Chain A
Amino acid sequence: GESVGLHLPTLSVQEGDNSIINCAYSNSASDYFIWYKQESGKGPQFIIDIRSNMDKRQGQRVTVLLNKTVKHLSLQIAATQPGDSAVYFCAENIPPSGSARQLTFGSGTQLTVLP
């Protein structure tokens, strides 16, 4: 039968506007979070990370906000450009029993920048 793919949330923004991409993470014990950008035919590209002891972190044109109370993460992109069009993933690190790490990824959001 027909396979059912993940339903990717989509976000369309006008070039120059700000974008906000949201992510609900799964585990209250997660201690580290990363946002990745994936363009077609490429692997995920690191954007910005944040540790659980922080609420906000800023990079170049990007800001990540962490709300541990509601297990919510957001990525804000200022002055969105056509090159920002991609799928954006949040990933959480759930502390394992040992030192090994394992990232759990969200399903992703497709960002389209309109001219």
Chain B
Amino acid sequence: KAGVTQTPRYLIKTRGQQVTLSCSPISGHRSVSWYQQTPGQGLQFLFEYFSETQRNKGNFPGRFSGRQFSNSRSEMNVSTLELGDSALYLCASSFGGGTNEKLFFGSGTQLSVL
């Protein structure tokens, strides 16, 4: 069974631009979560989607948004990029998003904002 797939693997953008990252969960998984990882803040929760609905959101500004499609694939968008948005963005999936389910991560998208 294929793992969580994230594209692109690397991305370089300039301040003010916007970016869209893509995530394909493990087949059969319906919950997709997004996390931001930086050396300064570690791993921080962005949001979680289940059945095309955002169920939970972390403490990030409105420039960070996401969506989930009927096939459970998810995208996240960051508008008006800032230098501090440079990070590894990780997508994780689980079967139903229940609180005692294992969460499986992709390899991430490394975003650099210049």
Residues of chain A whose beta carbon lies under 8 Å from any beta carbon of chain B: 3-6, 31-32, 34, 36, 41-46, 49, 51, 89, 91, 93, 95-96, 98-108
Contact = CB atoms under 8 A, between A and B. Distances in A.
Please tell me the size bucket of the interface on B.
20 to 34
* Closest CB pairs A-B (n = 7): A100-B55, A100-B56, A43-B105, A5-B39, A105-B43, A43-B107, A44-B105
Interface in B68-114: 90, 92, 94, 97-108
B28 interface: no
B113 to A, nearest CB: 14
A60 to B, nearest CB: 15
Interface of B: 4, 6, 31, 33, 35, 39-45, 48, 50, 55-56, 58, 90, 92, 94, 97-108
Contacts of B35: 103, 105
A109 to B, nearest CB: 12
Contacts of A93: 99-100
B105 A45 contact: yes
A99 B105 CA distance: 20
Contacts of B106: 43
Given A3-B40, A43-B107, A102 B102 contact: no
B56 A46 contact: no
Given A43-B106, A100-B55, A32 B45 contact: no
Contact of A6 (B33, B40, B90): B40
A6 B99 contact: no
A101 B48 contact: yes
B42 A6 contact: yes
Given A43-B106, A102-B45, A31 B40 contact: no
B109 to A, nearest CB: 10
